[in-house]
Amino acid sequence: MPTRSPLPAVFAAAILLTAPFWHAREADAQASAPREAMTEAMLGEAMNANTVSVITGTAGGTYFRIGADLAFVLNDGDKIRVLPILGKGAGENAYDLRFLKGIDLAFLRTDTIEQLRQDKRLKNVEQHIQYVAKLFDDELHVVAAKEIGDVRGLAGKRVTFDVKGSGTDYSGRAMFRGLDIAVTAINVDQPTAFTMLQKGEVDAVVSVAAKPVSVVAGFDPGDRFHLVKVPYPGSISDAYVPATLTSTDYPKLVDGAGPVETLAVGTILGAYNHPKGSERYRKLERFVEAFFGQFDKFLAPQRHAKWREVNLAATVPGWTRFRPAQDWLDARREDVSPRADIERFLSEQPQGLRADKDQVYQAYLTWRRLKDTAQGSARR
């Protein structure tokens, strides 16, 4: 009796054994398309939920560099991402923050709120635009011929105020009005303005920005031009404060006779006041927590020197602080002034300490951690 080949049985067994596997693969294939689609959608949702955008200033300027610092310090994987965007400056930034749908934060100035109030098209400005923190001061620079010893000597003359909509355009003009100096105002970009000054086509160039301003410092005055003195009048707006420019700031524009008097206006980090509980409001809550909670990192030597002027607790007259920022400060009222902390730390160091900036910063962080640990133990 011929024997039957075992191959059909083997094939049958193989089919039976692999059937569940193929069914599972088929089910996975059917499910994979929706799952991949959901994964892509979830990725996009997560990226948008964790990203806050900040409108800064022109490329290479102080606002641009400060915005880059925000991103370098605070970006933390899927938790938070700061996206700096180039802007024209504080004047235009205010409108971008108010009306552009993708803007959450902006570098503004203490006089910006008055600028917006004067625009009759806008309603409830204070409700929509608020501030997270006052940052640093932007100084008024007036470069003119050495024959002009005082800013009042520019009355009736041709003066440039950067491009239309820039921070210099608004703050510079407002400062001149506050000084009661009427000039023929011209709007051109700063490199063009300095070329016009050298050719005698204008009488002065104005820049309102945080010193040292690269375009001002890079200007070659020869023996013809200098930074003009701007005396501080008691009658000017509270938004402006006295300031000085030194030969350290501008070796080619300030002689050794002493600092040049001028004015300054504060820079603030403005926020759009989204409805409480909304997704964008929650994003800003997370930003505030990260920004305030990690502020020590902005004092590192590689960050912009202007961070060392910041007092997080400083208030801005005429402005409303963004509620999550105010809540954070209220909860930590005794520990919100890194500058005061640094001064106290330095006062405790041995006389004649000559460490480099990085050594001083690392020593400060160690001191701060020990102080925080001691305070925490005392509270418990």
The pLDDT assigned to 47 comes to 77
Average pLDDT over residues 344-348: 60
Q: Are 90 and 270 in contact (CB under 8 A)?
A: no
Compute the C-alpha angle 51/52/53, nearest 5°: 120
Average pLDDT over residues 98-118: 93
Q: Is the pLDDT of residue 301 over 70?
A: yes
Question: Which region among 184-198, 248-262, 313-327 has the lowest average model confidence (pLDDT)?
Answer: 248-262
DSSP class of residue 169 equals I
Return the beta strands (E) in the chain as ranges: 51-55, 81-85, 105-109, 129-145, 158-160, 184-186, 204-209, 225-227, 240-245, 260-272
Q: Is 67 or 118 the better-scoring residue by pLDDT?
A: 67
Q: Is the pLDDT of residue 25 over 50?
A: no
Nearest to 208 by CA among 152, 166, 145: 166
CA end-to-end distance (rounded Å), the chain: 94
Instruction: Give percent of the chain above pLDDT 70.
Output: 78
HSE, side-chain direction, 13 A CA sphere, residue 220: 1
Confidence category of residue 264, pLDDT binned at 50, 70, 90: very high
Structure tokens at 106: 């902006």
Q: Is the pLDDT of residue 94 over 60?
A: yes
- 30 in helix, strand or coil? helix
The pLDDT assigned to 59 comes to 82
Q: Is the pLDDT of residue 239 over 90?
A: no
136-179 confidence digits (pLDDT tens): 999 999 999 999 999 999 999 999 999 998 889 999 999 999 99
Q: Is the pLDDT of residue 50 over 60?
A: yes
Q: Are 302 and 353 in contact (CB under 8 A)?
A: no
Tokens 């991402």 correspond to 81
Within 8 A by CB and 6+ apart from 149, the residues are 228, 229
- Kindly report the number of other CB atoms within 10 A of residue 39's CB atom: 10
Confidence category of residue 43, pLDDT binned at 50, 70, 90: confident
Most confident of 44-58, 92-106, 233-247: 92-106
Q: Is the pLDDT of residue 124 over 50?
A: yes
Q: Are 111 and 239 in contact (CB under 8 A)?
A: yes
Q: Is the pLDDT of residue 358 over 70?
A: no
Within 8 A by CB and 6+ apart from 89, the residues are 57, 58, 61, 63, 162, 165, 166, 167, 168, 169
Q: Is 351 or 186 the better-scoring residue by pLDDT?
A: 186
- The predicted model scores a pTM of 0.74
Q: Is the pLDDT of residue 45 over 80?
A: no
Q: Is the pLDDT of residue 362 over 90?
A: no
For residues 158 and 202, what is the distance between their CA atoms, to the nearest angstrom?
5
The pLDDT assigned to 338 comes to 57
Q: Is the pLDDT of residue 66 over 90?
A: yes
184-195 confidence digits (pLDDT tens): 999 999 999 999
Residue-averaged pLDDT of the chain: 83
- Judged by phi (left if over 0) then psi (alpha if -120 to 50, else beta), residue 375 lies in alpha
The pLDDT assigned to 9 comes to 40
The pLDDT assigned to 255 comes to 84
Tokens 């951690």 correspond to 369
For residues 47 and 279, what is the distance between their CA atoms, to the nearest angstrom?
12
